[in-house]
């Protein structure tokens, strides 16, 4: 039987949209059917960039244009930004499967499920873009999620702490507000898609929380202290609030972690104001 790691590498490397979606569905089904094994001939090869189409053009986050939601172009641009996050999330899930070896089978099952659900989210959002007369790639986007994936490729504990537990968890904070804005703009269809995404993303962040805590226990580390240290090391000067407490707690955040994040944000904001 084929190695799961080889199959994940193919999903990660696919640079055409339809090929990545097809391989994601196919690989997820093969794993569920017991047709893939956790065997690898060696260490994973470095993955500098995942497979992706020639467009969208990638720019710095500050160079991604902001558009108002009172025009169809503005709505399409916002939907495109979320679509891009979901496409990146497919690659992030497959990279977690491919990158990190010698973990329990449940780790791989979890991230394969995430990959398949992110592909579904991408398809739903792309359909909405098409209904606006646009497609994925029509607007510029940034590469922040994948850049953090590269920075955390050396350790699954750091990856679990910083990608699902921080960057992807921001979706739990901002998506309820986006749903409200879409409804105010009269876009019930996109609001309904975002509700599906919010429901599933709580589960995705929970998977990251579970494995972060698992790896901390395995190494004899205190999860809350370790999370605090990693946040300070990797996110100096950045703000994280406001937080959707209910969604984050459903996704595995402790109340102490949320309070610590809030305090860190307040302290950093004070530091920025003092420096100005």
- Convert the chain into a string of H (helix), E (strand) and C (coil): CEEHHHHHHHHHHCCCHHHHHHHHHHHHHHHHCCCEECCCCCCCCCCCCCCCCCCCCECCHHHCCCCCCCCHHHHHHHHHHHHHHHHHHHHHHHHHHHHCCCCCHHHHHHHHHHHHHHHHHHHHHHHHHHHCCCCCCCCCECCHHHHHHHHCCCCHHHHHHHHHHHHCCHHHHHHHHHHHHHHHCCCHHHHHHHHHHHHHHHHHHHHHHHHHHHHHHHHCCCHHHHHHHHHHHHCCCCCCCCCCHHHHHHCCCCHHHHHHHHHHHHHHHHHHHHHC
Average pLDDT on 20-35 reads 98
Per-residue confidence (pLDDT) for residue 120, from 0 to 100? 98
Percent of the chain with pLDDT over 70: 93
Contact by Cβ (8 Å): 118, 82 = no
Query: Of the spans 14-28, 51-65, 240-254, which averages the highest pLDDT?
Result: 14-28
Q: Give the pLDDT of residue 270.
A: 44
pLDDT of residue 237: 56
Q: What is the mean pLDDT of residues 94-108?
A: 96
User: Does the pLDDT at position 179 exceed 50?
Assistant: yes
Average pLDDT over residues 217-229: 93
pLDDT digits (tens, 9 = 90+) for 180-220: 999 998 899 999 999 999 999 999 999 999 999 999 999 99
CA 1 – CA 23 distance, rounded (Å) = 17
Rounded Cα distance between 34 and 27, Å, is: 11
240: confidence class by pLDDT, cuts 50, 70, 90? low
CB under 8 Å to 79, separation ≥6 — which residues? 125, 128, 129, 132, 190
For the chain, percent of residues with pLDDT exceeding 90: 70
Does position 154 have pLDDT exceeding 80, yes or no?
Answer: yes
pLDDT band at 255 (very low <50, low <70, confident <90, very high): confident
């Amino acid at each position: 039987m084929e190695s799961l790691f080889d199959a994940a590498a193919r999903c990660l490397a696919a640079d055409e949209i339809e090929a990545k979606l097809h391989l994601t569905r196919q690989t997820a089904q093969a794993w569920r059917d017991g047709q893939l094994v956790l065997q690898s001939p060696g260490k994973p090869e470095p993955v500098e960039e995942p497979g992706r189409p020639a467009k969208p053009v990638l720019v710095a986050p500050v160079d991604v244009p902001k558009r108002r939601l009172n025009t169809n172009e503005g709505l399409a641009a916002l939907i495109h930004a979320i679509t891009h996050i979901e496409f990146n999330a497919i690659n992030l899930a497959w990279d977690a499967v491919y990158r990190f070896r010698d973990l329990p089978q449940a780790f791989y099952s979890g991230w394969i499920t995430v990959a398949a659900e992110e592909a579904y989210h991408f398809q739903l959002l792309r359909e909405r873009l098409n209904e606006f007369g646009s497609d994925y790639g029509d607007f510029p986007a940034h590469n922040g999620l994948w850049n953090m994936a590269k920075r955390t490729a050396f350790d699954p504990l750091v990856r679990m702490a910083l990608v699902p537990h921080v960057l992807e968890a921001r979706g739990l904070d901002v998506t309820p507000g986006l749903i409200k804005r879409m409804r105010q703009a009269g876009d019930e269809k996109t609001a309904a898609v975002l509700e599906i995404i919010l429901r599933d993303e709580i589960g995705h962040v929970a998977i990251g929380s579970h494995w972060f805590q698992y790896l901390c226990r395995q190494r004899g580390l205190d999860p809350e202290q370790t999370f605090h240290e990693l946040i300070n090391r990797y996110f100096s000067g950045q703000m994280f609030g406001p937080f959707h407490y209910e969604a984050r707690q459903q996704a595995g955040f402790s109340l102490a972690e949320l309070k610590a994040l809030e305090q860190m944000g307040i302290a950093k904001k004070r530091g920025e104001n003092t420096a100005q």
